[in-house]
Structures are given as C-alpha cells and as structure tokens.
A and B are shown apart, each in its own frame.
Chain A
C-alpha cells in the first residue's frame, strides 16, 4: 500500500437505472497532482464523493490511505472534498466557516487560509450569501488547501474565478504542494489551463476509466495526421486509429503513438502533416461520440 493514496477495486455505483461508475479499478498515487478529466456525466463527482465517503458505492472496494473511510475516522480526517458550492450554510461568516474547518481537520492551517483569503481580497466578515460565485470558489479552495489533508479532492474548484485569480490559485496550489506533498485530485473541464500543474491524469468516460497515466505519457499518447482525404484514408488503412474525420476539407486521423514515433514518421513520409495531440485534445478524441452523432447531424433533415 506504500505510495498509494486511493485504492479502488471494481467500484460500481448505480442510481436506479443509471450507471454512474462501472467497475473502476485504479490505484491513485500519493504525492501527485492528478487531473480527473471527463465529459459531463462521466462520473467524476460520483467518484470523488465515494472517495470522500459522502456517497455509498453500490459494489466494489475503496480504500483511502489504506482504510475504509466510512468506518475509520482517522482516514476520514485525512481526506477533504471541496467544490465550488459546498453546503457550508449561507448565513455563516467566512471566519466562522474557517473555525469549523479548524475544529474538524487536525492539520488545518488557519493562518495560511486567512492569508490566502486576504490575498484574494475576501473579507472574513462577509457571509457566504453575499459572495459571488468566484469568491465562493476561492473560499472553498482556500479551506481545502489549508486543510493539508493527505488526499485533497477538488471538484470543479475554479468555477467563476477570473483568469488573474485562477493563475494565482494554480501557483499557490503548486507551491503548497511542493511545501506539503500530498495527493491532490482536481476535476476540471479546463484541462489546457491546469495541464501545467498536473503530474498524472485519469480520464473517465461514461462511468468507465479510459486511462490513468502520468502527463508525459499522455502527451506522447496520440498524434494527429492531416492531409487530403485520399492521403489520410490511404495511410490509415490497416492501422489502429482513435478517430478519423473523412471530410473533403480538413480531413485528419488521430492515431496512437508518439509524434516522434515510427508511425508518425511513416505518416510524414506519406506526405501528411503530423502534430502532437495535447492532453485536452486527447481526452476529446478518446471520448468522441460515435459516427452519426457529430455536430453535422444537427442540421440534417
């Protein structure tokens, strides 16, 4: 169990007929910042809530810090779940909310949290009701970061935050992670922005895990070959593709492998323009809807 923050074994969660998680088996590493990526309804929040002990799994096993979080209090004190709109109570002052965190989380750094909020220009005397969405997100992020838990689960933590503050948040997150290494799991739809601070990425699609890899591997996972329809279709024949776009203009194929790999060299030799696929694009290509469900279908009669 050394080096593993969260161990999930065949975790399944059903809401009546909807399957939110479908047999997730993964070991999330300690001391890394993990991006939990996936489309809406892919199961990110459910997975996080199960890890935090806020939702009950339908089957499977989840161990957080080597223990069952629903039964072990010391393990639950090592996990914090935060989102942009936590039910902290709208009528409480920020100072009171900080106090609640300070009481319940053994490693909560109250001074650090207050400094962060001061930096963000949020008064401790304000109540949650009077905060904007971005300010709420900043408060919840500050609390989660200051809790210094071994497992920090941030569910869409940057909603509503302006670009300037977001950059500050990324810097704080990275710097604090270096000071206090721990497993930080962030779910976000803005992968291109947080890509720089992530060390690993877990991609979910319709309740199933697509991959869990370190960021370097993800960057080398796919490449894209653009060219005329004939060239592209001629090249991909007999090769394993992730997706292809067979239009007269803008035809391309996404293939597995590194941009500097053998297949990419072959594509270049075949006259195709080869480019690396960013992690964000990779997550899009790997979870693309099936043929016939593309945008064009909206205008078809």
Chain B
C-alpha cells in the first residue's frame, strides 16, 4: 500500500512538472519571436555591411560563415535567457499554479532548457539562412568565394558549444539567485561587492586580463570535448547545489532582479577596466592583426617538398612556366593555390637565398617544388604547419594540380581527439585567408640550371 502510494505520488509529481513546464513554455513563446527578430536583425545588418564592403572593394573575396554581429547577438540572447533563470524561485507567473517547491523548480529548469535548446536551433538556422543568402548574392560571380560559408561540422560544433555555454550561464545564474534568496538582499549586496572587489583586485594586481583568467580555467590547450565537459560539469554542479539549497527549506526571500544587473555590470566594468590596463595601447590602434596576442610567429620553419619529373626539356619548360605563372589548379573547382608569388630558381640561387641546404642536389629531369614558412600559431594551433601538411601538389603530364586534405574537423575533436592532432584545416585556412597573410607562405620551384636559364630567357623575351 505504501509503495502504491509512493508510486502514485511520483506519477503526480512528474505530471505536475510536465504541466508547469508546458505552461511556462507557453508563457515564454514570445521570447522565441524576440530571439528570431534580434538574430534576423543582426544577420541582416551583417549582410548589409558585407554588401557595402563588397561594393567598395572589387577583387577576390573569400566569405566565411556568419560574421561577428550575429554571433554577438547570439551571445546577448544567451545571456538574456540565462538571466531569465534569475527568477527561478520568485517567478509568480508559475508559482500561482499548483505545485511544490521541487516541482516548480524542476518545471522551470526543464522549460528553460527547452527554451535554450530552441534558441540554439534558431541560431543554427540563421547560420544556414545566412549561407543561402550569400550563395544567392554571389551567383556566378567568380570573384566571390562562398564555398566556405556553410559546413555541417561547424554548424554542429557551433550549436553544441552554444547550448553548453547557455547551460553553463544558466547554472551559474540559478545558483547565484538561489543563494541570494536564502541569505537576503543586504547580505547579497555585501557579498557581491566583496567578490567583485576581490576578483578585480586580484586581476589588477596579478596583471591578468579576463581572457587569461578564463584560459586558466578552460579553453587553452583543451579539446573541444574537454571544453564542453568543463561547461557541463560547472552547470551540473551549480544546478545540483541550487536545487539542494532551494529544496532544503522551501522558503525564499525576494531578491531584487536589478541586483543581478549590478553583479554583471560590476564584473564587466571592473574586468574590462583591468583588461585595458594590462593590454598594450598598441592593440587599440591600427595594425591590430600582427600584434594580436593570439597570434605568435614561431622560429621553426615548416616546409613540404614535391618532386616533378619531365621527359624532355620542352615538357620541363611547360611545367616550369605553368608553375611560375601560378597555373596550379585545384582539381575540383579550379581555384589557384593561395600563394602570392612563386619563384623559379636554379639550385645555386636557391642555396644562396636559403631555400635549399648546401648538401642538396637535384636529379636529372626532375624539379623540386618547395613550400615553406615560419610557422604561425593561432591559439595554440600551427596554422601554416597545418595548411602545408594538408595539401598535396601533383603532376599529370604537364598539368600541375593541388589538393587539400580535410584531415580533421571540430566534431571529431569533440569526441576526445586532440584539437591540434585533428588539424582542422578548414578552420586554419579560413582564419589564415581572412587575415590576408599570403606573403608569409613562400613557394619556390628549383630547376636544373639549363632549364632555369631557358625560363629566364623566355621571361626576358616576353618583357620585350
């Protein structure tokens, strides 16, 4: 009988949670509309800016995914949804319906998670819509490369990260609010002020910026999977603690919603002030990219060699001319290799200019195509290393082609593989091309002396 009673109560509890969550979802349905409108506005503005840029700058353009404006809008929305959880106990709109403290708390959690999931899907949807609009706009414009605007793996990884980050924020806000409701308004203000002062004091005196602090906790050197696990772990611990605190006594004190804004504003202003203080002024001025602390040139050179063979000097000449003129085609779509200049040198010249080692010798009827760069690290990823590692140049008769291997992606790194080992070439190349650093990659074709002379003569003749 007792067991039956318990079973009945459990069913009632579940049914109550379901009903309340449904009511809350219905109550929050306008949030979806607001989220969609805000994202649409952000995407629209982003596209408008892009169109204006395109109109004013003729020439080759690579377009990659969504811009920063929709991303900022998404972050803002995530924070706003997270803030919605702040009234998880005091929300009278739900408390007025039947339920217990535990069922109301769980209903709010469930509905919030569904809202966050819906928001993540909306965000993903806009990524797709943005890509479609760009494709339509690009049409047959050969100067506009929009092939990289959409990738299922990035969509998946982006949505996964967005959802986990939302849960992370939600968990933190819920815990903060639950603690505040237990300790009351005055104690909350005192504790908040103390934490803000302490945190900002530490950041200031330790000469750290917020990104460094964050990188100490998560991000640097982590695989995406580890990063997500970190976010989920914080969320789980915070939510569990909040639930335990909320259910222990059942009662709560009302805490002003504006208090959370004070917390956020205090944290943000104090934190950003410290970031400004600890960052070089140079960062805020013109040449931002090269001095960006996220980028770091390494001393180690990376390089890759390709050997082409030819049967007679005529064939060798054609190959050398093709390469010198940048006619190295990508098999699938015909785009050229992204080097600004390819030099043709004989062995001696190549040695003198430091492209070849002294002991190097070229075999008969062969030429060497060498690609090299001082490697560049972007957030612990070796950009050029990855680019060079992933592409192959090969010969078919007198035609030279190049191929890029997709040796990894963010989704595979999410499941335990080290991000660097994944060698996410798409990402690296997109980053690299976005910054227009083509000069850093160097390519040289080393040919026999006779062939080099012939090429030089042809070039001279072409000039006259």
Interface residues of A (CB under 8 A from B): 53-56, 70-74, 76-77, 79, 81, 86-89, 91-92, 96, 99-101, 103-105
Contact = CB atoms under 8 A, between A and B. Distances in A.
Contact of A73 (B23, B99, B250): B99
Given A56-B251, A73-B12, A73-B16, A105 B98 contact: yes
Chain A CB within 10 Å, residue with most, of B9, B22, B96, B103 = B96
Which of B19, B20, B249 gathers most chain A CB within 10 Å? Answer: B19
A91 B97 contact: no
Contact of B100 (A73, A87, A103): A73
Given A103-B19, A103-B22, A104-B20, A86 B250 contact: no
B272 to A, nearest CB: 35
Contacts of B16: 73, 77
Given A56-B249, A56-B250, A56-B251, A100 B100 contact: no
Given A88-B93, A91-B30, A99-B26, A72 B250 contact: no
Nearest to B252: A56
Interface string B428-457: 000000000000000000000000000000
Interface in B221-267: 249-252
Given A89-B27, A96-B26, A103-B19, A74 B96 contact: no
Given A56-B249, A100-B23, A71 B30 contact: no
Contacts of A86: 92, 96
A87 B13 contact: no
Contacts of A56: 249-252
Nearest to A15: B253
Given A73-B103, A86-B92, 14 more contacts: A54-B95, A55-B251, A56-B249, A56-B251, A70-B101, A72-B9, A73-B99, A76-B100, A81-B96, A87-B92, A100-B97, A104-B97, A104-B98, A105-B98
B249 A87 contact: no
A92 B251 CA distance: 28
A104 B107 CA distance: 12
8 contacts: A55-B251, A73-B9, A73-B100, A73-B103, A74-B9, A76-B100, A89-B27, A99-B26
A96 B25 CA distance: 12
Contacts of B26: 96, 99-100
Interface residues of B, number: 25
A77 to B, nearest CB: 4
B98 A77 contact: yes
Interface in B6-20: 9, 12-13, 16, 19-20
A76 B99 contact: yes
A71 B248 CA distance: 12
Contacts of A91: 30
A70 B249 contact: no
Interface in B352-377: none
Nearest to A74: B12
Nearest to B13: A73
Interface in B94-113: 95-101, 103
Nearest to B15: A73
Contacts of B95: 54
A55 B96 CA distance: 11
Contacts of B103: 73
A91 B93 CA distance: 12
A145 to B, nearest CB: 16
Nearest to B14: A73
Contacts of A71: 100
Contacts of B12: 73-74
Residue among B99, B103, B252 with most chain A CB within 10 A = B99
- A-B residue pairs, 4 tightest by C-beta: A56-B251, A87-B92, A104-B97, A76-B98
Nearest to B23: A100
Contact of A88 (B30, B96, B101, B249): B96
